[in-house]
Amino acid sequence: MPPIMRRRQNCAMQAAFLTRHGSRETDGCLRKAQFHRDLWCAFTVQNWILDFGRPVVMIFCPLEWFPLNRPSAGDYFHMLYNITTPFLLLKLIERSPKTLPRSAVYLCIITFVMGSSAHLVGDSINHRLLLSGYQLHLSVRENPIMRNLRPQALIDSFELLQYYDESLGHCMWSVPLFLILFLYFTGCFTIVKSEKKMPVSAWLLLGPSGLYYWYLVTEGQIFIPFIFTFFAMTATVMHQKRKGFLPDSNGLFLLYSFSISLVLVTVWVVYLWKDAVLRKKYPGVMYIPEPWALYTLHLRDKHMPLAD
């Protein structure tokens, strides 16, 4: 068959496919969907610098530069993170081939900012306590610096602070974050064969991205929303595959990043499974120790002098 006739036949088959499955869903899948190299690179770099680098900068900056009664360098990193992350998420949604529900996106962004702001305050005080000898691998009441605190009712206030930081704050920013990523992922499907492969830049960013999601899940204690998002993404792939769609390069990058993170979380849990001290803080089946709890348990005294 001549090449021209073959191309015409393929176009006719594609048109019939679109008619059978509905134009609204397939219009987005046929748009040119290139890998968003600039956004994914910016997202990965700002996550590593502003999120992971935040406590590192705070620990190694001299106390004379940032007194304990003033915002630390890590706090400024956190403030910048609360601005750049919603901006990058909105830019990511703008480039989605599929039109996503605006109300859901706006509500997620608003909730994300509220949660990350609550986490900013709690995390800031928490790291100041760390400089005073607070041990993250112990509960609030078991910490030595809390035992001599008077009046004892102040311990309840610190437990409330930890609740806003570790529970409510983490929940309010992690759930909207994963929901936005999932909404974006639902539009990352195509029937164009050339768009089903990841470029070299995507493979280069895959390792740092997957490693960061491991840190996010373990340090933020947000395994449940993470695993539900991963299962939802997997189910979406299976559902779309029956219709003839497969993830494009952006969808594959997100799916592979989550897969790498899940493998790393599994290795992390297995490695620390028999740690008796961490087991006491994280009882039950959901045993996922925080990296900074491991740091205060085994490494902190070797690297960080405590404040007077």
- What's the pLDDT score for residue 299? 67
Q: Which is higher by pLDDT, 143 or 173?
A: 173
Residue 67 has which token pair? 């007194």
Please give the structure tokens belonging to residue 268: 């992390």
Q: What is the mean pLDDT of residues 178-189?
A: 94
Query: What pTM was estimated for this model as a whole?
Result: 0.82
**What is the separation of C-alpha 44 from the centre of its chain, rounded to a whole number of angstroms?**
10
Say if residue 14's pLDDT is above 70: no
Domain that holds residue 142: 29-303
Residues 157-168 have pLDDT tens digits of 888 888 888 888
Q: Identify the band that residue 195 occupies on the pLDDT scale cut at 50, 70 and 90.
A: low
Does residue 45 fall inside a structural domain? yes
Does residue 1 sit within a domain? no
Note whether residue 217 is domain-resident. yes
Q: Tell me which DSSP letter residue 198 carries.
A: -
Per-residue pLDDT, averaged over 139-154, amounts to 80
Domain count, the chain: 1
Q: Give the closest residue to 114 by CA, choosing from 75, 180, 164, 51.
A: 164
Burial of 74 (0-12, 13-18, 19+ CB in 10 A): buried
Question: How many C-beta atoms lie closer than 10 Å to residue 21's C-beta?
Answer: 15
pLDDT of residue 73 exceeding 90? no
User: What is the pLDDT confidence band of residue 302, given thresholds at 50, 70 and 90?
Assistant: low
Confidence of residue 3 (pLDDT cuts 50, 70, 90): very low
Length of the chain as a residue count: 308
What pLDDT is attached to residue 33? 62
Answer whether residue 138 is part of any domain.
yes
Q: Is residue 86 part of a domain?
A: yes
One-letter identity of residue 180: I
Would the pLDDT of 9 be above 50? no
Band (pLDDT 50/70/90 cuts) for residue 308 is very low
Report whether 272 contacts 289 (CB < 8 A). Answer: yes
What pLDDT is stored for residue 32 in this prediction?
A: 55
What are the respective helix, strand and coil percentages of the chain, to the nearest 5? 75, 0, 25
How far is Cα 292 from Cα 243, in angstroms, rounded to an integer?
A: 45
pLDDT bin (cut points 50, 70, 90) of residue 294 is confident
The pLDDT value given to residue 90: 95
Side chain identity at 97, as an amino acid letter? P
More confident residue, 14 or 91: 91
Neighbouring CB atoms inside 10 A of 255's CB total: 18
Type and span of the H or E element at 138: none
